[in-house]
Amino acid sequence: MARLATVGTVTTAARMPNLGIVGWRMATRRLLGRDAALGWTLLLPALVILGTLLAYPFFDSVILSFQDRFIGKTGTWIGLKNYADLIGNPNLHFWEATRNTIVFVGAAIAGKFAIGLTMAAVLNQEVPGRNVLRGLMFLPWALPAVVSAYAWRFILDDTGPINGFIAAFQLRDDYLLFFNDPKLAMFALVTVVVWSGTPFWTMNFLAAMQAVSQELYEAAEIDGAGTFARFRYITFPSIQPVLLVTTMLSTIWTSANLTQIFVLTGGGPNYATITVPLLSYLVAIPGKQLGAGAAASMLMVPAYLVLVVLLSRRMLDQE
């Protein structure tokens, strides 16, 4: 809980000689801290970059969302019309996108959690070649999202191995056309996202598991706890904070991810896999309506805000 600045100010104050007369220089130093000039200078490049290319665009996006603005033209202020259209006009597919985003994120997070936890539990055992296994299972995370999407798209393609297998053994009368069926397309999407995202979870869970004190396990063994009981009553509670942080982080990234959807389904068939970020892309860039696209992306902000506030508090508490 010891926060950065509490430590900082306390030590600074303690080091300051308590002079009867304090010159103005001393006073400003006390007010700003002894390294103010150098500190801000060193921070300047990062702050300029993040201020102009992250903070400013974010607020710019809020303003943009109240405008009717075409790419290459100046915008006109239209108040809440972009939002009203998104919510009220079914042709814009906003509610489908919202529903899909919830299904997609929910299923993907559940999958990553279940597989990540099991994988970490397995890799936490003393099995021969554990480091090699860990390295191999980490691989999908290193792949560019585009590459994992194409690797899977070929596997699921009508000329790919799954349909080749079906044809060779005549398992079905017809091919499984994954990207023509709404349910199969969503299933395929979730599979790919789970495949490429799980290693991040595994590695976090595994690191947390390895930090659990061995003595706890030994004590539990003496008390007669079996493998499952040890997991349930020692491992799980110990790694729970990591489970929570990983889940929140991954929820943000999964919901924002549109690369794999773009490559695998493009939102189809018939909008069955379009998500809110993909909708905002399609409206803003190919559709050239920057204002409406910004409004769509802004509608994700309330959900992000909750997650970001919770997360940044937790991440800072680690200090």
Partner 1 sequence: MVGSTVHNAVHAHRRMRRGPGAGWVVATYAAIAIFLVWTLVPFVWMVLTSVKTNKEIYRDFTFLPKEVYWDHYEKLLTGRMGVWLRNSAFVSSVTTALSLVMGSIGAYAVTRLRFAGRRVVAQALVLTYLVPSSLLFIPLFQTVSSVGLSNTLGALLLVYPTFTLPYCTWMMMSYFKSIPVELEEAALIDGCSRLGVLWRVTLPLSLPAIAVVALFSFTQSWNEFLYALVFTNSQASRTVTVGLTQMLGDDVFFWGQMMAGAVMAALPSVVLYTAAQRLVIRGLTVGGIKG
Choices 79-87, 105-113, 170-178, 295-303; region in contact with partner 1 by CB under 8 A = 295-303
| Closer Cβ to partner 1, 52 or 270, answer by number | 52
Q: Quick check: 159 binds partner 1 (CB under 8 A)?
A: yes
The token pair that represents 5 in the structure block: 């600045």
**Is residue 139 near partner 1 by the rule CB under 8 A?**
yes
CB of residue 223 vs partner 1: minimum separation in angstroms?
A: 9
Q: How far is CA 35 from CA 24, 29, 83, 85, 238, in A?
A: 16, 8, 47, 52, 40
270 Ramachandran zone, left/alpha/beta (phi>0; psi -120 to 50)? left
DSSP letter at 286?
T
50 near partner 1 (CB under 8 A): yes
> Phi/psi at 197 (nearest 5 deg)?
-95, -20
- d(C-alpha 68, C-alpha 292), whole Å: 7
For residues 16 and 30, the answer to whether their CB atoms sit within 8 Å is yes
Residue with smaller CB distance to partner 1, 110 or 308? 308
CA 241 to chain centre: 17
Among 249, 271, 287, 303, binds partner 1 (CB under 8 A): 249
Ranges within 61-120 binding partner 1 (CB under 8 A): 61, 64, 71, 115, 118-119
CA dihedral of 152, 128, 201, 264, whole degrees rounded to 10 = 0
Whether residue 202 contacts residue 133, with contact meaning beta carbons closer than 8 Å, is answered with no
Handedness of CA 293, 299, 302, 308 (dihedral sign): negative
Task: Report if residue 188 touches partner 1, rule: CB under 8 A.
Answer: no
For the bound state, the minimum distance from the C-beta of residue 95 to partner 1, rounded and expressed in Å, comes to 19
34 forms part of the interface with partner 1 (CB under 8 A): yes
| Interface with partner 1 (CB under 8 A), residue from 98, 100, 235, 280 | 280
Among 207, 237, 270, 306, binds partner 1 (CB under 8 A): 207
Choose, by CB under 8 A, the member of 145, 185, 188, 193 that binds partner 1: 145
Q: How many residues bind partner 1 (CB under 8 A)?
A: 115
Neighbours of 205 (CB within 10 A): 24
27, 80, 147, 306: residue in contact with partner 1 (rule CB under 8 A):
147
Asked if 281 touches partner 1 (CB under 8 A), the answer is yes
